[in-house]
């Protein structure tokens, strides 16, 4: 699989004034691969994600999408390149139904004379198809998001991120706010995305998550690449050691 690189960051550094958040960080992501990113608080995980999604401009270094060098000036740019971010605070409107949330800002419409009206039927149909494709179970596509459980909301957020054929999905602590019984469903969903050929980067501090869904794990420590390994060649204890800055 490593023959198809969809995303690469080369010696990326990010400075905030005198603070160095990232220093010479490298990252590679292959098609259909799930990469786990671990690290202690302040190790630079979130900063790296924000650089990849175009929210922050790297101070040094460069980004490559499909092996082509790109400069991102906003998250819109990375979205256009097929990268979507699932926000930790979910960014859903609880008062709106599932389908409305998935298509918010990109609603299907139909023309009646000079006017564009919402195509409720089409939205419902696309929503049901997409949820079925991701094997997300909800009572109805018309259910309001505020009536959903935390895990179902996370699923809707992921469905939203992938509704427009995203090739890369970044997830920041996708299971952090979930009840134990719901974690499994979200992890299944990540594995489903992988089967559909989507590449995923998961930030998590839960070893269970990392060792269930990831193909590869990389650890950041104080803003630098600390260690990296195929999952089958490492162990929980070793990865926990990396987070604390210990290497054999």
Partner 1 sequence: MDKNQESLFVRLIPFFERYGILLLILIMIAVLHLLQPDVFLSWRNVTNIFKQVSWQSMLALGVFMVIVTAGIDLSVGSIIMLSLMGLAIASKAGMPWYVVMLVAPAIGFLCGMFNGIGITLLRMPHPFIMTLGTLYIFRGIGNLISGGVPITGFAEQIRVIGNGKIKLDAFFGEGAREYIPTSLILMIVIFFIFWVFLNHTRIGKWIYAIGGNPGAARAAGINVDRILIIVYTLCGFLAGIGGLILAGRTNSAYPNAGLQSELDAIAAVIIGGASFFGGRGTVLGVFAGVMIMGILRNGLNLMNVSVFWQQVLIGSIIILAVYIDVLRRQLATRT
Residue numbers at the binding site for partner 1 (CB under 8 A): 76, 87, 89-96, 100-101, 104-107, 109, 115-118, 120, 146-147, 149
* Nearest approach, Cβ of residue 96 and partner 1 (Å): 6
Q: Give the span between the Cα atoms of 123 and 106, in whole angstroms.
A: 10
DSSP state of 178: S
H-helix segments, the chain: 45-52, 75-80, 98-102, 120-133, 150-162, 180-195, 207-213, 236-243
Kindly tell me which of 89 and 237 has the beta carbon lying closer to partner 1: 89
Give the nearest distance from C-beta 94 to partner 1 in angstroms: 6
Cβ of residue 219: shortest distance to partner 1, in angstroms? Answer: 29
> Of 109 and 137, which has the nearer Cβ to partner 1?
109
Of the pair 106, 232, the CB lying nearest partner 1 is at 106
Backbone phi, psi, residue 239, to 5°: -65, -40
Per-residue tokens: 19: 């603070």
Contact 159, 100 (CB under 8 A): no
Q: How far is the CB of 33 from partner 1 (least distance, A)?
A: 26
In whole angstroms, how close is the CB of 51 to partner 1 at the nearest point?
18
Q: Report the distance separating Cα 135 and Cα 15, nearest Å.
A: 41
Which DSSP letter does residue 140 get? -
Helix, strand, or coil (residue 32): coil
Tokens representing residue 123 in the block: 């939205």
Closer Cβ to partner 1, 8 or 100, answer by number: 100
Q: Which is nearer to partner 1, 42 or 117 (CB)?
A: 117
In the complex, minimum distance from the CB of residue 145 to partner 1, in angstroms, rounded to a whole number: 8
Choice between 4 and 120, CB closer to partner 1? 120
Residue 90 structure tokens: 């979910």
């Amino acid at each position: 699989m490593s023959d198809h690189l969809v995303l690469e960051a080369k010696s990326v550094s990010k400075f905030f004034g005198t603070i160095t958040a990232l220093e010479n960080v490298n990252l590679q992501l292959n098609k259909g691969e799930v990469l786990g990113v671990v690290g202690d608080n302040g190790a630079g995980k979130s900063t790296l994600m924000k650089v990849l999604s175009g929210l922050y401009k790297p101070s040094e270094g460069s980004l490559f999408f499909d092996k082509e060098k790109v400069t991102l000036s906003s998250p819109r740019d990375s979205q256009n390149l097929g990268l979507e971010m699932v926000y930790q605070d979910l960014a859903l409107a609880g008062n709106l139904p599932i389908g409305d949330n998935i298509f918010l800002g990109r609603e299907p419409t139909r023309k009646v004379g000079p006017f564009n009206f919402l195509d409720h039927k089409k939205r419902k149909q696309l929503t049901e198809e997409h949820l079925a494709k991701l094997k997300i179970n909800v009572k109805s596509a018309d259910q309001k998001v505020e009536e959903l459980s935390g895990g179902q909301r996370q699923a809707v957020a992921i469905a939203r991120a992938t509704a427009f054929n995203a090739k890369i999905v970044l997830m920041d602590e996708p299971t952090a706010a979930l009840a134990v019984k719901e974690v499994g469903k979200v992890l299944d969903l990540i594995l489903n995305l992988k089967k559909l050929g989507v590449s995923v980067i998961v930030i998590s501090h839960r070893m269970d998550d990392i060792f269930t869904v990831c193909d590869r794990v990389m650890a950041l420590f104080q803003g630098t690449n600390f260690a990296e390994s195929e999952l089958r060649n490492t162990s929980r204890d070793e990865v926990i050691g990396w987070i604390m800055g210990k290497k054999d």
